[in-house]
A = this chain, B = another copy of it.
Amino acid sequence: MDLDRPLFATFWNGVIDLEHDSINRVIEKYERLIEEGKISGSKCHACTRIMVPPRPVCRTCGSTDIEVVEVEGQGRLLTWTTIYVGPPSYENNVPYTVGIVELTNGERLTGIVDIPVSELKYDLPVTAAFDDERQGAARLRWKKA
């Protein structure tokens, strides 16, 4: 194992074809969509709530009738931090900024903030972009809207 490359970046590209696969693979679905430059959430067919990032059970009504759907990547910056001491996988990126963004649908999502620190302020409008150097959920970057 090499901490410089987070283990979880070990991607699996096969096909699961189990007779009765009862596992709702929300993370794999999120990652497949983010590879296409799309942010996604879980839509509950029982109460219609869309949660971002997607989850296998609805937090509002407890339903498991969940489908992963694309959502709009627009929002406003709630909070942020510039990190000067990072893990080995980000040591070539310091300092870098991460932030939590509230999307237009009210859901929230964490990502790298790709905006000069001097321009950052509470509620700054941002839009999702995607880093081609990284894979999976790590691709998300917030840019100025």
For residue A1, CB closer than 8 A to chain B, the reply is yes
Chain A's interface: helix, strand, loop or mixed, by majority? Answer: loop
Total contacting residues, chain A, CB less than 8 A: 3
Pairs A–B under 8 Å by Cβ, sample size 5: A1-B1, A1-B2, A1-B3, A2-B2, A2-B3
Number of copies of this chain in the oligomer?
Answer: 2
Q: Please give the distance in Å from A41's CB to the nearest CB on chain B.
A: 34
Whole-angstrom CA separation of A3 from B4 in the bound complex: 12
> A residues 1-57 with Cβ under 8 Å of B?
1-3
Cβ of A2: which chain B residues have Cβ within 8 Å of it?
1-3
A: residues with CB less than 8 A from B are 1-3
Complex alpha-carbon distance, A3 and B7, angstroms: 12
Closest to A2 in B: B2
Chain B hits for A3, CB < 8 A = 1-2
User: How far is A116 from B68 in the complex, measured between Cα atoms in Å?
Assistant: 60
Question: 5 nearest interchain CB pairs?
Answer: A1-B3, A2-B2, A1-B1, A1-B2, A2-B3
